[in-house]
Every structure is written in structure tokens, then in C-alpha cells.
Amino acid sequence: MITISIVTYKTDLSELKKCFESLDSDLVSAIYVVDNSSEKCIEHFCNNYPNVEYIASANVGYGAGHNQALRKVINKIDIKYHLVLNSDVYFEPSILEKIVTYMDANQNVAQLQPYMTYPNGELQYTVRLLPTPMDLIFRRFMPKRMGEKMNYRYTLEFWDHKSSANIAYHQGSFMFFRLSAFEKVGLFDERFFMYPEDIDITRRMHQYYQTIYWPEVSVVHAHRAESYKSKKMLKIHITNMIKYFNKWGWIIDKERSLWNKQLLKELGYKK
């Protein structure tokens, strides 16, 4: 069985409804909506769904929000998998069965991300190299041509994304976890309010297990990239990336260097 957590903040109800429709599967045991805005309209909407549990929360951030749901399910013996999901993601419910079949057959896989597109069908680059400070902070202030060249490598744009790969960074909008792996790795790091918590949890999983990009199924993510539109969100992004690099290393990060080098070689990157 699968449990699912969705963190909301002043979320549009039509968006949430479309997301819930994607979860119409007998495999889904419970859906936890952790509402960082504690809005009554979201609570009342969730009450219409018998397998949805609404959790009113202070605005604690993305990872800390999902942790509230994970703590409820981590010791349940009948739950094998947990899906961390954005409300702006939707897909055919049948893909959940395909993912579970794959995970059951590959016991060393702790985390999976599918092929992801924008609503227009364009590929979304959601599995990436582990970032350097240049990739995530300084490139925003570089000339456009230099930033595009760095992005081409960092976001793996050179690769066709048609084959599976063991990748240490999955973007956080759809993260399918083997629940038992959290017992070894721990939950989301709550020092990160927003943005690098997905990099951090994937690389911690990757230290012990495989973290697989699996393009045999696809989902749609109506990604808004808020930090590119809002100065407030940009500040939050930069502040939390500073915390991430303080934790893992700015210039020297041997694990990052090793894993990125291995991945680029496996994917056939040529300078």
C-alpha cells in the first residue's frame, strides 16, 4: 500500500482536485494534506474525500510539512511506499501500479522519479547533477549565454532522458520513496524551509540505496518557478541554498565531485 503527502499553501482548489483525481487507485491507503496556510476552504474541501486527512499547520516549509505526514506512517507495517507530491502534478492513476511493480522487483531502489513534462508535453529537466554554488546561485547573475552553457550540463539537457539512470538529485514535485529507507536515512532536513530539501534527501538516500530516474511512466508538472518571478522567493531560495552549501561543502564536496563525474560518464556527456 501507498501513502501520499501533499503540502499546500493557499492552494487553488481546482488544482488540488485534479491532483486528487490522479490518486484514484486501490493502492492508495491515505492521502495527507499538510496545509501550511491552515485555510478553512482547503480543510472543507479535503473533508469531502474519505481517504484524505487534513493537517492544519503553521508555515513550517516544504520538508517539515511532509515530515508531519511521514511521522504518522513510518512505523505502519502495512505501508511499503510513500509518495511526496506537489499539488500541481497530475497523471494517470494506473502509473502507481507500474511504479510499485518496479519497486517490488528492485529492492535496492529507495526512491524513484518518473519522466516529467510541462502541460504542453515538453520535457521538464527534474533530475540533475548535484549542484555547485556556481550552478545554483552565481549563474543567475551571469550573462545569459554563460548561464545557459552551465545549465545545459547541470540539468542534463544533453541527455535524451529515455533510459533509466541512478541519479543523486531528484526535484521534489514527485518523489516516490520506499518507506523503510527513512529509518536509515532520516526524514527531510527541517533546516531548509524550501528548495534544497529535495537535493538533500535524495543524496542522503543515494548514499545507501539507488535513487532511480525511471522514464517508463510519465507525469505532468505545471511548474511555476516562483523564485524566478518573486524577489521574496528568490531571497528564500538563496538563503536556503547557503544553508545547503554550509552543510555539504562549497568548493570541496568530494561526494558531489565523484557522483557527478560518474553520472556524466554514464550518460555520455562530451564537453
Contact 35, 63 (CB under 8 A): no
% of the chain residues with pLDDT over 90: 84
Q: Is 192 helix (H, G, I), strand (E, B) or coil?
A: coil
In order of 134, 159, 173, 237, 268, the CA distances from 140 in angstroms are: 9, 23, 22, 12, 27
User: What residues contact residue 265 under an 8 Å CB cut-off, 6+ apart?
Assistant: none
Q: Average of pLDDT values for 15-33? A: 97
Q: 10 Å Cβ neighbour count for 210? A: 17
The yes-or-no verdict on residue 172 having pLDDT over 80 is yes
Averaged confidence pLDDT in the chain: 93
Q: Can you give the pLDDT at residue 227? A: 42
Q: Can you give the pLDDT at residue 154? A: 94
Separation of alpha carbons 57 and 42, rounded Å:
12
pLDDT in tens, 184-222: 999 999 999 989 999 999 999 999 999 999 999 999 999
Q: Average of pLDDT values for 23-49? A: 96
Q: Is 177 helix (H, G, I), strand (E, B) or coil?
A: strand
pLDDT in tens, 64-103: 999 999 999 998 889 999 999 999 999 999 999 999 999 9
User: What residues contact residue 116 under an 8 Å CB cut-off, 6+ apart?
Assistant: 123, 124, 126, 171, 173, 174, 218, 219, 220, 221
Residue 236 cell numbers, joined:
528564500
Q: Can you give the pLDDT at residue 176? A: 98
Contact 105, 206 (CB under 8 A): no
Positive or negative, the CA dihedral 93, 199, 211, 228 is: positive
